[in-house]
């Protein structure tokens, strides 16, 4: 089967392509750097010709309100072209718990993306992942102020990106779920504790100060973005990941 990967040069997309290339499927790789733009539609019909599945792993340029229009246009463009091409599985990478945290503009945008896919004309699979372990350093940097990192106690269940890629690859090579699968790491931590673990493993002079209003996760209800019942749990723990990557 031909599988088209949108966002193939990205953090997730590039790892997914590497994994899918080890299967018997034909993998095609697309983003603006290869002449495919889901905002303008340029190159999209050609990218999807003869594809049995397409994975949508693109991301918006910003986390603010502008992400809503970005995900609306790009998702509608992809669904329209996928229907025209007879694609049998549109796979969307989304985020665990966004329906309980839709006050966050970026999560509102991702939820809209899911709704469009669910209501769209093509069989679909939604893979919801928790926050990537590789993304925790960025979360700390958002609310660093000198040597203080302000973090709320919102619970986060970080997952290694490779564990997410395993599920994405499995879903992309199988029949459409017409539903959602959740993928998370093995353990949930209050974000302030996750910050302390990170800074213990990679000390840089900063320390954690609890601030329930800090950053994006200060707007997220305490248990909204941890694994729901039935989620698939990755095998890599955060302490293992820190040790391996440090
Ligand atoms: N970070 C997390 O913890 C987390 C957790 C769960 C889910 N996710 C989801 O994972 C997805 C992928 O994230 P990522 O970090 O891999 O993103 P990324 O590294 O920023 O990569 C984004 C990709 O999208 C492409 N792209 C951007 N605009 C495009 C357009 N108009 N048309 C076609 N391609 C376009 C980019 O290439 P060009 O710039 O060349 O076009 C790039 O290949 C996101 O949707 C995010 O919501 C993230």
Is 181's pLDDT higher than 70?
Answer: yes
Ligand 1 atom with the smallest distance to the CA of 58 is 24
Measured between its terminal Cα atoms, the distance across the chain in Å is 39
**Structural domain count, the chain:** 1
Task: For residue 159, give the ligand 1 atom closest to its CA.
Answer: 3
Gap between the Cα atoms of 228 and 82, Å rounded:
30
pLDDT at residue 87 greater than cutoff 70: yes
For the entire predicted model, the pTM comes to 0.97
Our answer on whether the CB atom of 164 is closer than 6 Å to any ligand 1 atom is: no
Instruction: Give residue 8 CA to ligand 1 midpoint distance, Å.
Output: 9
Q: For ligand 1, what atom is nearest to the CA of residue 164?
A: 6
Count how many residues are written for the chain: 246
Binding site membership of 36 for ligand 1 (Cβ less than 6 Å): yes
User: For the chain, what percent of residues have pLDDT higher than 70?
Assistant: 99
Average pLDDT over residues 186-204: 97
Residue 180 falls in which region: left (phi positive, over 0), alpha (psi -120 to 50) or beta: beta
* Whole-number CA gyration radius for the chain: 18
Q: Does any ligand 1 atom lie closer than 6 A to the CB of residue 58?
A: yes
**Ligand 1 center to residue 147 CA distance, Å?**
30
The CA distance from 197 to 158, in Å, is: 12
Q: Is 33 in the pocket of ligand 1 (CB under 6 A)?
A: yes
The residue range of the domain holding 148 is 2-245
CA 112 vs CA 37, 118, 159: distances in Å = 20, 10, 23
Strand partners, 6: 30, 56
Q: What single-letter DSSP state applies at residue 161?
A: H
The candidate with the shortest Cα–Cα distance to 227, out of 167, 146, 161, 156, is 156
pLDDT of 26-47, one tens digit each?
999 999 999 999 999 999 999 9
| 112 CA to centre of ligand 1 in angstroms | 16
Look at residue 244 in the predicted model and tell me its pLDDT. 85
pLDDT at 226 over 90: yes
Q: Is the CB of 11 under 6 A from ligand 1?
A: yes
pLDDT digits (tens, 9 = 90+) for 57-77: 999 999 999 999 999 999 999
Taking the CB of residue 103, how many other CB atoms lie within 10 A of it?
10
* pLDDT tens-digit readout, 96-105: 999 999 789 9
Specify which residues 207 forms β-bridges with: 148
CATH number of the domain where residue 105 is located: 3.40.50.720
Q: How far is CA 67 from CA 61, 71, 81, 202, 226, in A?
A: 7, 6, 21, 32, 23
Q: How far is the CA of 196 from the centre of ligand 1 (A)?
A: 28
The pLDDT-based confidence of 245 (bands split at 50, 70, 90) is low
């Amino acid at each position: 089967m031909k599988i088209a990967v949108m966002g193939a040069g990205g953090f997730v997309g590039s790892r997914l392509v590497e994994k899918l290339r080890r299967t018997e499927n034909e993998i095609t790789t697309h983003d603006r750097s290869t002449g495919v733009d889901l905002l303008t539609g340029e190159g999209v019909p050609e990218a999807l010709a003869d594809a049995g599945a397409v994975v949508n792993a693109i991301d918006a340029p910003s986390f603010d309100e502008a992400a809503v229009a970005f995900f609306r246009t790009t998702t509608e463009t992809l669904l329209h072209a996928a229907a025209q091409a007879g694609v049998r599985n549109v796979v969307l990478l989304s985020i665990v718990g966004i329906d309980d945290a839709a006050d966050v503009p970026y999560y509102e945008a991702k939820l809209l993306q899911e709704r469009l896919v669910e209501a769209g004309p093509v069989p679909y699979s939604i893979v919801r992942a928790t926050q990537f372990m590789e993304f925790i350093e960025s979360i700390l940097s958002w609310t660093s102020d000198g040597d203080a990192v302000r973090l709320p106690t919102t619970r986060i269940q970080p997952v290694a990106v490779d564990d997410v890629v395993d599920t994405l690859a499995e879903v992309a090579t199988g029949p459409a779920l017409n539903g959602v699968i959740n993928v998370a790491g093995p353990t949930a931590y209050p974000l302030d504790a996750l910050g302390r673990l990170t800074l213990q493993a990679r000390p840089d002079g900063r320390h954690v100060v609890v601030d329930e209003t800090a950053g994006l996760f200060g707007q997220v209800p305490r248990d909204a973005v941890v694994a729901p019942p039935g989620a698939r749990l990755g095998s890599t723990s955060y302490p293992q990941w820190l040790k391996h990557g440090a």
